[in-house]
Amino acid sequence: MRLFRSKQEAEEIDVSNLPRHIAIIMDGNGRWAKKRGLPRTAGHAAGAETFRRIATACKDLGVEYLTVYAFSTENWKRPKEEVDAIMGLLEKYLGEAIEKMERDGIRLRFFGDTSVLSERLRGLIHETDDITAHLGKTFQANVCLNYGGRDEIVRAVRKAVEAGNAVDEDSFSALLDSAGVPDPELLIRPGGEQRLSNYLLWQCAYSELYFTETLWPDFDEHTLKKAIAAYQQRSRRFGGL
């Protein structure tokens, strides 16, 4: 019996058994930059380009949804220069995305509390919402921005209390930022850390978790396929036998 698979075998995937929804914690931008003697902001710029490539790769493979952790509710604690750089990158990306969404058939949604973002960013998000609303069934990228899993659940509980209606799992899910989006079957975390970091806590209750040492700016289509291939080797029993 062989204990190890070749690199090519490890990247072979069954396109008839793809996860509908992949979630990614985009971790390692700062460490990637530090290893190269660059400012952390350079790592975030490289990470933004990786997001473009991986979103395209997911769409081309036939994955229906990709959700990425772009900025958490805790990330405001970082130095102002770094926060400003991340917000500037988001503005730049959204401005470019608005021009390409309809051409490329990519829907774009945002999860998180966007009320505290700049007026410029909120305006761009509204524009992407308008375009997404009239695009047909196609690939959808979800960006978690000023997002925290606990914060999302608390906001949903407040909505439920205000409505005064009885709540079950389905009705509660409909109050979350991800309403209408299936739960991720696969959660990928680059960068070597092995924790959820307050990400999609409700939605990832039964997600398969895949961790890799690869830093996010170095994450490529081959790494993506390795993660999908690992997912396809697992038996998803959801508590059953």
pLDDT digits (tens, 9 = 90+) for 82-123: 999 999 999 999 999 888 888 888 999 999 999 999 999 999
Strands 139-147 and 21-25: unpaired
Torsion of the alpha carbons at 37, 42, 44 and 46, rounded to the nearest 10: -100
In a domain, 140, yes or no: yes
Strands (E), 135-217: 139-147, 186-189, 208-211
Q: Cα separation of 49 and 72, whole Å?
A: 19
Q: What is the CATH number of the domain that holds 86?
A: 3.40.1180.10
**What is the average per-residue pLDDT within 4-17?**
69
98, 167, 199 from 174: Cα distances, Å: 27, 10, 18
Report yes or no on 9 lying in a domain: no
| Cβ 72 vs Cβ 31: under 8 Å | no
75 is catalytic: yes
Answer yes or no: is pLDDT of 1 > 80.
no
Look at residue 83 and give its three-state secondary structure.
helix
Q: Note whether residue 11 is domain-resident.
A: no
Identify each DSSP E strand in the chain by its residue range: 21-25, 65-72, 106-111, 139-147, 186-189, 208-211
Confidence band for 2, pLDDT divided at 50, 70 and 90:
very low
Note whether residue 58 is domain-resident: yes
**Residue 239 domain-assigned (yes or no):** no
**Distance (Å, whole) CA 92 – CA 95:** 5
Q: How many angstroms separate the CA atoms of 178 and 235, rounded?
A: 25
Question: Using one digit for the tens of pLDDT, what is the confidence trace for 199-222?
Answer: 999 999 999 999 999 999 999 999
Confidence (pTM): 0.92
Question: Does 240 fall in a domain?
Answer: no
Residue 67 is encoded by which pair of tokens?
Answer: 């959700």
Instruction: Report pLDDT for 10.
Output: 52
Residues 6+ apart with CB under 8 A from 155: 113
Report how far residue 221's alpha carbon sits from residue 134's, in angstroms, rounded to the nearest whole number.
Answer: 30
Q: Is the pLDDT of residue 187 over 70?
A: yes
Q: Is residue 10 part of a domain?
A: no
Computed on alpha carbons and rounded to an integer, the radius of gyration of the chain in Å comes to 18
List the domain range (segments joined by +) for residue 71.
19-148+184-230
Please list the helix, strand and coil fractions of the chain in percent, rounded to the nearest 5, in that order.
Answer: 50, 15, 35
* Ramachandran bin of 180, using left for φ above 0, alpha for ψ from -120 to 50, beta for the remaining angles: left
The one catalytic residue in 14, 17, 27, 165 is 27
29 is known as an active-site residue: no
**Tokens matching residue 78:** 């970082």
Report the number of distinct structural domains present in the chain. Answer: 1
Catalytic residue among 14, 17, 60, 75: 75
177 assigned to some structural domain = no
Question: Which residues sit opposite 139 in a β-bridge?
Answer: 106
